[in-house]
Structure 1
């Protein structure tokens, strides 16, 4: 119990809780919206649809370490292409250390997580969309429903179960994200990208405070177990 009392008096841990919440909410909402939009677009009869699907799946196939190293290079203050392009366009007057700046580091890492996370959820949604019979939409058109009404009244209610399951699975992946943050910023600068996962790792293997790390891990486990329970309930209900 002393470990739990101590950890909740730790300002870095309290900051990591807030970062974890912010990290989860932003990732979850943006990935969900983008995944739905892409799935709806790729469910249409587009020329070269197979190529588009393959390209969108590329981020999912790229290992976290490769993605982190690639984006770290892109964000580099001296040779990163982001600074080079921004300076040529006149958006900035001097190079910016994107990952070394407290105000930008968190959002830079989130962009990478979103880029990697969208394809996973999009696959679930696209598979659900392809299972909707065409005559359902034909009936809606006959009744005079527009595209917006069709989406809210027909598409969304039909795919709500796979959408819920994919969202919960994605949420678990977002909360347990470690590689991207650690490889790009190690929780810095000034713990601006520190989440509970990186806090526990730092306490255990760098600071050697195993009691504190264990307490943080248990708190993270409880948080994850709640959502895992929801997921298992949804799956058993669907079966």
Structure 2
């Protein structure tokens, strides 16, 4: 392989990663709704790249469960089923206490300060109105969970958490009922308070309750099959 060829392949990988990150951010921030068609031609035109690069980006997102690639139909923002939504939160209940226990020995004054900076930004966004602020608040809420995972120093746990936060955003976009934050700011504060006091088991209990509250705000009742229009729209 020549240097020129290697450089071209490296540039292509960077372009595909950029597209993947941009689409991923839009999904996580709920700017792209579940079920949205991601046409290779349209995405390629938006980013001024070839369909080959777009296809690579979409394939990477499909591995994360954020995009569904259907034969002869194309790619769509994934629409998690009720069962998948329940499994995502069941997995978070298993994983996040482990992350807290892994992170706890590494949490000192500097780490607490960084976490409180995230909470301050989250609070600022919570007090603002409008769709852009709401999307930014959702991202800030997810960033808190990712920051705790990063403190653990375990790259595998952090990667798993990154995927779970992204897929949770999809679930919340599809099944969320409340207009208020689905990832409670006050509960984040309580978790940091417990970690600062070295009350790790308290922090774990608070995290589990927090995840329960997120899931409780979702309407995960399966849709009725074969509904009759007259029954659905009965006055």
TM-score of the alignment, normalized to the shorter chain, above 0.5? no
Name which structure has the greater RCO, CA cutoff 8 Å, separation 6+.
1
Pick the structure with greater CA Rg. 1
Which structure's residues are more often helix, by fraction?
1
